[in-house]
Amino acid sequence: MYVCVCKAVTDSQIRAALDDGARSVGDLRRELGCCTGCGRCGPFVRAIVAEYKAEERLFPLMPQATPA
C-alpha cells in the first residue's frame, strides 16, 4: 500500500529499509524520500517505525550461524 503518495513509497519499501538497517524516520527520509513532500505520510511512517521497533524487541534478531 502506498504510504507516501508524493514520493510513491510503499509500506513494503519502508519495512525493507528497516530490515536493511534504517532505524528512524530521518533514515527513511534520506533513503526513500518519504516525509519530504506534503508531510501527510509522517504519522503513518512513524507508526510503521514504532511497530517495527516493538516487534524487534519482542523477537530480537538472532545471530547468523556460521557455516562449518
CATH number (domain holding residue 10): 1.10.10.1100
pLDDT at 55 over 90: no
Residue 64 lies in a domain: no
Residue matched to cell numbers 519482542: 58
Residue-wise pLDDT for 2-51, tens only, equals 999 999 999 999 999 999 999 999 999 999 999 999 999 999 999 999 99
Residue 67 lies in a domain: no
How many domains are contained in the chain? 1
* Whole-number pLDDT of residue 66: 57
Residue type, 50: A
Q: What is the pTM of this model?
A: 0.81
Residue 34 lies in a domain: yes
Cα 13 to Cα 9: distance, rounded to the nearest angstrom: 6
Residue 63 lies in a domain: no
Residue 35 lies in a domain: yes
Q: Domain range spanning residue 14? A: 2-58
Q: 56: pLDDT confidence band, cut at 50, 70 and 90?
A: confident
Residue 68 lies in a domain: no
